[in-house]
Amino acid sequence: MLREKVGLYLDLIRWNRPAGWLLLLWPTLGALWIAAGGFPGWHLLAVFTLGTILMRSAGCCLNDVADREFDRHVKRTAQRPVTRGAVSVREALWLGAVLALAAFGLVLTTNAVAVAWSFAALAISIAYPYAKRVVSMPQAVLGIAFSFGIPMAFAAVQSLVPLLAWVLLLGNLFWVLAYDTEYAMVDRDDDLKIGMKTSAITLGRADVPVVMLCYAGYLCIWAAALAERIPAVVLAVATAAAAIQALWHYTLIRNRDRDGCFKAFRLNHWLGFTMFAGVAAGYALR
């Protein structure tokens, strides 16, 4: 029984699908390197890596509780533990609370500014699952939630959140809009039936062009922000490699095929890793 329960909890937090927390991790680590002007030290690296995993896992618990009535009508999500009743709402909320408190404990080892900003990050994370009921582009709310590791990183390193952090957050928001719209394209038919609001539904036939514009916005903003901070050759190689991946994603989503859109979404963490690798390499070679 214990082994079965642990297995259900691991399924609830998507333990076997690391792509979700990797999408949060790479821009957060990139911000850490930029804020510190290079390697930020093992302490902050551990805090933000573990904190990202914990908060993403806590978010999955809350999201599944909030969406349990909708998820039963969506092919991809109908068998989630809370949706099918294998894990109770109470259990899921308790697990999410424990994970969030563990992440907060990590933040407490940084500084007062980072601790203060962590409350804003938590509020946005709680708001997102319910934004899908009222906001026609809830992916924008997710974009802020998934990008908040950036100002948190600057706060932890510099004890302030400069304009640069918000510029990077804006760029990353465009990336989240791109990949989460791809994700929403997978469930578009089911979401239309149940009345869920998503960017894929709101954009209609403009979905693919907007996704590509969002990729371009992300890469252009991050490249402009990094132009004076890392060697031009390294920045050009990293940005070009990421752009090639974005073009490949276009070939996967242009026909709006469910499998192609889901594959594009799942591969986005490599695009994020490419930009982070460029940042890390650029500061190492300065």
Q: CATH homologous superfamily of domain 2-285?
A: UbiA prenyltransferase (1.10.357.140)
Q: Is 286 exposed, middle or buried (0-12, 13-18, 19+ CB in 10 A)?
A: exposed
Residue type, 215: Y
CA 133 to CA 175: how far, in whole Å?
22
Which pLDDT score is estimated for 245? 98
Q: Once rounded to an integer, what is the mean pLDDT over residues 203-224?
A: 96
Which pLDDT score is estimated for 191? 80
Q: H/E element holding 141?
A: helix 138-147
Whether residue 142 has pLDDT greater than 90:
no
* Eight-state DSSP code of residue 242: H
Least confident range of 140-144, 190-194, 196-200, 253-257? 190-194
Q: pLDDT of 37-49, one tens digit each?
A: 999 999 999 999 9
Residue type, 124: I
Whether residue 239 has pLDDT greater than 80:
yes
Q: Once rounded to an integer, what is the mean pLDDT over residues 256-283?
A: 96
CB atoms near residue 38 (< 10 Å):
15
Q: H/E element holding 64?
A: helix 42-66
Q: pLDDT of 13-23, one tens digit each?
A: 998 888 889 99
Q: Once rounded to an integer, what is the mean pLDDT over residues 205-219?
A: 97
Q: Once rounded to an integer, what is the mean pLDDT over residues 107-135?
A: 89
Which pLDDT score is estimated for 20? 87
- Domain extents for the chain? 2-285
Whether residue 74 has pLDDT greater than 80:
no
- Count of CA atoms in the C-beta half-sphere (13 A) of 230: 30
CA 40 to CA 46: how far, in whole Å?
10
Q: How far is CA 134 from the centre of its chain?
A: 21
Whether residue 56 has pLDDT greater than 90:
yes
Whether residue 170 has pLDDT greater than 90:
yes
Q: Once rounded to an integer, what is the mean pLDDT over residues 73-77?
A: 76
Asked if 222 and 275 count as a contact pair (C-beta separation under 8 A), the reply is yes
Confidence tier at 71 by pLDDT (50, 70, 90): confident
Name residues whose C-beta falls within 8 Å of residue 38's C-beta, 6 or more positions apart in sequence.
Answer: 283, 284, 286
Residue type, 83: T
Confidence tier at 133 by pLDDT (50, 70, 90): confident
Confidence tier at 126 by pLDDT (50, 70, 90): confident
The two three-digit tokens of residue 249, written as one number: 């994603």
Q: Return mean pLDDT, the chain.
A: 92
Least confident range of 19-28, 51-60, 85-94, 131-140? 131-140
Phi and psi angles of residue 18, each rounded to the nearest 5 degrees, phi first: -70, -10
CA 149 to CA 270: how far, in whole Å?
18
